[in-house]
Amino acid sequence: MALSRRRRQSGQDTPWYDDEAGRLVRPYTISNGRTRPTAHFDLMTMVMATGRRPASCQGPDYAQVLGLCEGPVSVAEIAAHIRLPAVVTKVLLADLVDCGALTARAPAAVSAGPVACTDRALLEAVLNGLRKRL
């Protein structure tokens, strides 16, 4: 009863989310217990929706991921937005790539230029700042 009261007050309609407790469904339930995606993704892999909505990839989690992928977005960003572990996010993304709803590519490499010099003074200042905060 407290869950439905909290849900009504916050305006959320989903029964799988509680304002205080967060997501009520365990992350690996979403991926059906799978921990290995069928495609290779690292955290910087860029994914983008193709516009296809196949019947095999239906459900609120797939819809949420597809909504985030209207433009190129990294795997890390998607995992942060949907608040799931990266490995579960990779399984969902692999499902969407397998059914043709997403495309994936490695991020473009950026050259450092002719000579990449490291400013020692800058690095020491950053280190000192981190030491003060920690």
pLDDT in tens, 3-58: 443 443 444 455 555 555 555 555 555 656 666 777 788 889 999 999 888 777 77
Neighbours of 62 (CB within 10 A): 21
Best-predicted range by mean pLDDT (5-9, 50-54, 99-103, 109-113): 99-103
User: What is the reported pTM?
Assistant: 0.58
Question: Cα 22 vs. chain centroid, distance in angstroms?
Answer: 17
CATH 1.10.10 boundaries in the chain: 38-133
For residue 56, which of 73, 74, 38 has the smallest C-alpha distance?
38
Give the right CATH number for 38-133 from 1.10.10, 1.20.1250, 1.10.287, 1.10.8.
1.10.10
Distance CA 44, CA 61 (A): 21
What secondary structure letter does DSSP report for 109?
P
Which value, in Å, is the radius of gyration of the alpha carbons in the chain? 20
For residue 99, which of 68, 57, 36 has the smallest C-alpha distance?
57
Cβ-Cβ contacts under 8 Å for 52 (sequence gap 6 or more): 99, 100, 101
